[in-house]
Amino acid sequence: MQVTVVAGALERLSADVLAIALVELDPAKWKMPARLAALDAALGGRVADAIASGDFTGKRGESLTLHAPRSAEAKRVLLLGAGADAKLEPATLRELTAAAVRETAARKGARVAVAAPSSRRIKPPAAFQALAEGAVLGSYRFDAYLASRKDKKPAPDVQLVVERAADKRAANAAAAIGVVLAECQNLARALSNEPPNKLPPAELAKEAQKVAKQVGLSASVWGKAELEKRGFGAMLAVAQGSVNEPRLIVLEHGAPPKGAKQGARKRPTVCVIGKGVCFDSGGLSLKPSTSMEKMKHDMSGGAAVIGALRAAALLKLPLHVVGLIGAVENMPSGTAYRPDDIVTTLSGQTIAIANTDAEGRLVLADVLHHARTTYEPAALIDLATLTGACSVALGTWSAAVLGNDQRLIDRVLAAGSTTGERYWQLPLWDVHKEHMRGQIADVKQTGGRDGGTITAAAMLWHFVGETPWAHLDIAPVADTEKTSALQPYGATGFGVRSIVELLRGWK
């Protein structure tokens, strides 16, 4: 798929489908814009007839396909409803382009041109970034294991139509950013969708190294022997029940010269940490079979980190960004860790194990401490499918954000608002941290039934020191069964665009 920006009259655009997005209108009062009137004349009045008859009103999600006369440049015109102008937002534009791509693909078309709705609510650069994101996100399918894949045609090329030629340069730049962000989100989707027999920790590490080589990131991978030597006791405890050995994956963008101290660095360092549990059976605290399905997505946080680091490299962000992923499998066996075990973490603190299915926080405890002490970052941000309690609290509509620094949390919330990736802040108070102190070990692994998302974050709080830290529990939104033009069944790639948005605005 290629996404380009073009300027020109709508009636002169050659495409298999010409998609025209319109805001909600009142047929009795609506006056057709001049650019659309010229197209309508070439179509023999088909657009005017559809609106006058009430067949198309511009409501959000509405669509109507019009067959163009043979003399027209476009074979079909697709009218798409953008909803009320007062409520128009980038998320709507993503949906519109994705719908246009899907319709064109269904018609076996090779090219679609998309004209955004005229509106003063969204400035052209933001609009064209969103349109490009929608085009690329809407083209994604996980079909690597379908026999019918060989018959699949490539996704159609997309032309985004700019009204004024003077806006084309800015629109091009914005669309290019949108393509990068969406491609990186699709990468995270693809990694998370891979079946666990194809993507154990060692293979996830290889995929990360492949991405690093392609875009110029530095990459390092530590295996079991190195982790044992360094003292990653909590992460190793989770991994010890599986024949697939763990990996610590580190990707770096914009690294300062070796030996430079934090104060001497021109670029601030931000560490982004991902939970990379490639399959979670629950260990000896075995999950019910219905809960074990889709546990390949328990590495979605790690997949998002790989996607975000790829984007940081391609967008040349003026930051030192370190992505760290603790990749493990949590399996039951004669060597698996047990409830009542006490493990010694990399920090030297001990953790009393209560439930081997609360494994993600053990992995993150070691990786967070390693990131904090090795890189001395300005901020730590972790993404993890950490608790089922988060889905109970927020449903499938939002991730949770918690942390020890309100300014950093506010940045996460703002980035989520801009990108359409929803976060909701939950409290994290000193009383929660105290609650997670243990009686027979320094820290308790779990805090009981109540406030499970909060107590899990409070447990992690013991391992971040005074470094500003935000914990993103993405369990509710990492994968979905609800499909749309933008989102197929499976992994969502949630977190990639909001993390990159946060990093792009870092000061």
pLDDT in tens, 354-377: 999 999 999 999 999 999 999 999
Domain assignment of residue 189, yes or no: no
Model confidence at 262: pLDDT above 80: no
pLDDT digits 0-9 by tens, 182-220? 999 999 999 999 999 999 999 999 999 999 999 999 999
Q: Which of 60, 121, 287, 504 is the catalytic position?
A: 287
Domain assignment of residue 155, yes or no: yes
Model confidence at 435: pLDDT above 60: yes
Model confidence at 264: pLDDT above 60: no
| pLDDT-based confidence at residue 260 (cuts at 50, 70, 90) | low
Domain assignment of residue 188, yes or no: no
Q: What stretches of 168-212 adopt beta strand conformation (E)?
A: none
Average pLDDT, integer, range 152-178: 92
Supply the CATH number for residue 356's domain: 3.40.630.10
Model confidence at 323: pLDDT above 70: yes
Q: Say whether both 153 and 236 belong to one domain.
A: no
Q: With beta carbons less than 8 A apart as the criterion, state whether 243 and 254 touch.
A: no
Domain assignment of residue 187, yes or no: no
| pLDDT-based confidence at residue 232 (cuts at 50, 70, 90) | very high
pLDDT value at residue 481: 95
Q: Say whether both 41 and 68 belong to one domain.
A: yes
Average pLDDT, integer, range 491-500: 98
pLDDT value at residue 152: 76
Domain assignment of residue 186, yes or no: no
| pLDDT-based confidence at residue 273 (cuts at 50, 70, 90) | very high
Average pLDDT, integer, range 432-437: 98
**Mean pLDDT score of the chain, rounded to an integer?**
95
CA distances from 489 to 98, 131, 156, 479 (A): 15, 21, 21, 8
Q: Say whether both 305 and 338 belong to one domain.
A: yes
Q: Say whether both 271 and 329 belong to one domain.
A: yes
Q: Say whether both 236 and 106 belong to one domain.
A: no
pLDDT value at residue 287: 97
pLDDT value at residue 69: 87
Number of domains in the chain: 2
Last residue of a domain, one of 126, 148, 181: 181
Q: Say whether both 249 and 387 belong to one domain.
A: yes
Last residue of a domain, one of 118, 147, 181: 181
- 75 catalytic, yes or no? no
Supply the CATH number for residue 122's domain: 3.40.220.10
Domain that holds residue 428: 194-504
pLDDT value at residue 459: 98
Q: Say whether both 354 and 281 belong to one domain.
A: yes
Q: Which of 296, 310, 361, 411 is the catalytic position?
A: 361
Q: Say whether both 108 and 240 belong to one domain.
A: no
Q: Say whether both 500 and 375 belong to one domain.
A: yes
Q: Say whether both 407 and 259 belong to one domain.
A: yes
Model confidence at 261: pLDDT above 70: no
Q: Say whether both 108 and 247 belong to one domain.
A: no
Q: Say whether both 163 and 225 belong to one domain.
A: no
- 361 catalytic, yes or no? yes
Average pLDDT, integer, range 444-458: 97
Domain assignment of residue 119, yes or no: yes
CA distances from 178 to 59, 174, 315 (A): 25, 6, 11
- Please provide the size of the chain in residues: 507
pLDDT value at residue 265: 57
* Phi and psi based region of residue 259 (left: phi greater than 0; alpha: psi -120 to 50; beta: remaining): left
The rounded distance, in Å, linking the Cα atoms of 503 and 214 is 21
Last residue of a domain, one of 122, 152, 181: 181
| pLDDT-based confidence at residue 29 (cuts at 50, 70, 90) | confident
Q: What percent of the chain has pLDDT over 70?
A: 98
Q: With beta carbons less than 8 A apart as the criterion, state whether 341 and 359 touch.
A: no
Average pLDDT, integer, range 381-389: 98
pLDDT value at residue 263: 53
Average pLDDT, integer, range 159-181: 93
| pLDDT-based confidence at residue 256 (cuts at 50, 70, 90) | confident
Choose the weakest-confidence range: 32-36, 207-211, 303-307: 32-36
Q: With beta carbons less than 8 A apart as the criterion, state whether 249 and 325 touch.
A: yes
